[in-house]
Structure 1
Amino acid sequence: MLARIKTFIETLSRDEAGVTMLEYTILIGIITAAVIGSVAYAGTWVTGKWTALTAKLT
């Protein structure tokens, strides 16, 4: 499996369009990771606020 991935990346690196596609793929991966991290943090923050609110109401 890793050999196929290595061969695929080597093939892309020889072609300029392939290199550009690889760069955009890496960029999209970084942006996706940042969005997932932000959503996870926001979910934790909202849960904390909701818990505090319900504690004050009871």
Structure 2
Amino acid sequence: MDTKSTNVETSIEFAIYNALDRISLLQEADIRALTNEYGEWLSASEKEIEILVIEYLNDLK
């Protein structure tokens, strides 16, 4: 893995942790609204997310 892909993965990981921290601050009704709107993304399996990251990294080349 080259430095560019490592930096991208680190940035994605950081963004995900920030998003999870922000979600934890939401009130119950807001969490439900977020889940209704983005449920398909929130319930994606780890394998599906890895595929998205790999495809993104391949597009950068």
The alignment's TM-score, normalised by the length of structure 2, stands at 0.42
> TM-score if structure 1 supplies the norm length?
0.44
Which structure would you say has the larger RCO, counting Cα contacts within 8 Å and 6 or more residues apart? 2
Q: Which has the larger radius of gyration?
A: 1
